[in-house]
Amino acid sequence: MKLFCSLPSPFARKVRALAAEKGLPLELVLVDVLDPTSPVAALNPLRKVPCLVDEHGEAWFDSPVICEWLDAMPGPRLIPEAFEARMRVKRIEALADGLMDAGVAIRLESVWAGRTAEQRSAAWMDWQWLKVEGAIEELERRLAGRAHFEGEALTLADLAVACGLEWLDFRLPDRPWRPRAPALAAWLAGMARRPSLAQTAPTAL
């Protein structure tokens, strides 16, 4: 299986971490989605990564779908089969993905070559950061001092949140989130040492 991705992408990292937890090999194909000649454009009409191409040449996107696909393969299950537990994990994943979407919007607004410095909107970036703060406050509340967001074992919820929070540290270090979520910060310090996350961390971390 080939995973078209950008190594700093938190969405791609979530997929890579889940695959590592399950012991599934992925062939990484590194791409720049802002490059109009990127091969991703022919695979995913949204021109986003990650994009998984299976052994039959079928393309799967985006990260929630890819994670579902991989989790159905042999290895420990990271998405519970029981409906309510599954929905709780998917809800936390949605919070983490929303946090990452808003963070990426801030990042692109600040660095995208298609905008001049005068065109960049600080108000837009601050609005996106409000979404990040809301997600972090909700994650802090839902973690409630536990080791995992759902049940007694690692799930996709934990991987998604960890990837999102470490991406904020990596790309938006001037916007600290830890003061409003001390329990979440302490939880992340332990999660970051997990091999699947340590091995997929952005190189600058």
**Residue whose C-alpha is closest to residue 94's, from 124, 47, 62, 72:** 62
Residue environment code for 152-175, b if the CB has 16+ CB neighbours within 10 A, otherwise e: eebbbbbbbbbbbbbbbbbbbeee
First vs last C-alpha separation in the chain: 27
Residues forming a β-bridge with 30:
5
**What is the rounded CA–CA span in Å between residue 99 and residue 4?**
22
d(CA 141, CA 183): 9
Query: In which band, very low, low, confident or very high, does the pLDDT at 113 lie, cut at 50, 70 and 90?
Result: confident
For residue 177, report the phi and psi dihedrals to the nearest 5 degrees: -110, -20
**At 203, is the pLDDT very low, low, confident or very high (cuts 50, 70, 90)?**
confident
Please identify which residue in the block is written with the tokens 């991406």.
167
Q: Sorting pLDDT into bands at 50, 70 and 90, what band is 204?
A: low
Q: Which of 22-36, 126-140, 156-170 has the lowest mean pLDDT?
A: 22-36
**Which of these, 94, 74, 90, lies nearest to 82 by C-alpha position?**
90
Among 108-117, 120-129, 130-139, where is mean pLDDT lowest? 108-117
Mean pLDDT of 153-181: 97
Task: Answer yes or no: is pLDDT of 205 > 60.
Answer: no
What pLDDT digit, counting tens, does each position of 17-47 carry?
999 999 999 999 999 988 889 999 999 999 9
Mean per-residue pLDDT of the chain: 96
How far apart CA 65 and CA 13 sit, in angstroms, is 14
pLDDT at 56: 96
Average pLDDT of span 95-120: 94
SS3 of residue 111 by DSSP: helix
Question: What single-letter DSSP state applies at residue 203?
Answer: T
Instruction: Name residue 26's amino acid.
Output: L
- pLDDT band (50, 70, 90) for residue 174: very high
pLDDT of residue 34: 86
Q: Please, what are the domains in the chain?
A: 2-71 (3.40.30.10), 83-198 (1.20.1050.10)
What's the sign of the alpha-carbon dihedral 151, 156, 160, 166?
positive
Residue 190 token pair: 């332990």
